[in-house]
Amino acid sequence: AKYDVSSVKTIMSSGAACPTTVKQGVVATFGPVLHELYGASEIGGVAVMGPEHMLQKPESCGRPAAGIDVILLDDKKQKITKPRVEGEIFAKGFNIDGYHKQEAKTKEAMYNDYFSVGDVGYFDE
């Protein structure tokens, strides 16, 4: 190897989905050190994918982060429980407080105690 990378213990990816080829390259170069975080500006981290599953399900953004509950709603605001059915992502947890000084916008983004992340996704299991 051209460089000694043995001191690299953790690499975080966030902000946009990390392409599978990049994940494969990071793991090939550094070993199983890659973590991917999915979240939103308004609420922070929603899901985390650790290195142990990174290449098993490279298209996944992981499981809900500690203390976070995630649900999917269809366009009629009904919960989606079946795998691989897309819906709007809503999250509930200690880190969710809504939009700063924008109560109306926060109320519009809420479903019960869940806050809309503003993305569409699906559960794979």
What would the pLDDT profile of 43-53 be if each residue is shown by its tens digit?
888 999 999 88
The whole-number pLDDT of residue 1 equals 63
Go through the chain and tell me how many residues it has.
125
Q: How confident is the model at residue 54 (pLDDT cuts 50, 70, 90)?
A: confident
Tokens of 84: 């691989």
Residue 109 is inside which H or E element, if any? helix 103-109
The whole-number pLDDT of residue 22 equals 94
Return the ∠ at Cα 101 (arms to 121 and 118), rounded to 5°: 10
Give dist(CA 85, CA 41) in Å, integer. 25
Domain positions in the chain are 11-121
User: Is the predicted pLDDT of residue 106 greater than 70, yes or no?
Assistant: yes
The whole-number pLDDT of residue 46 equals 92
List, in sequence order, every residue forming a beta bridge with 64; answer none if it has no partner. 47
Q: How confident is the model at residue 3 (pLDDT cuts 50, 70, 90)?
A: confident
The CATH label, of 3.10.50.40, 3.40.190.10, 2.30.38.10, 3.40.190.80, for the domain at 11-121 is 2.30.38.10
Give dist(CA 60, CA 80) in Å, integer. 18
pTM flag (> 0.95): no
Tokens of 85: 């059915």
What would the pLDDT profile of 57-89 be if each residue is shown by its tens digit?
888 889 999 999 999 999 999 999 999 999 999
Greatest Cα-to-Cα distance within the chain, rounded to the nearest angstrom: 56
Q: What are the start-end ranges of the E strands in the chain?
A: 11-13, 34-40, 44-49, 63-64, 68-73, 87-93, 110-111, 114-121
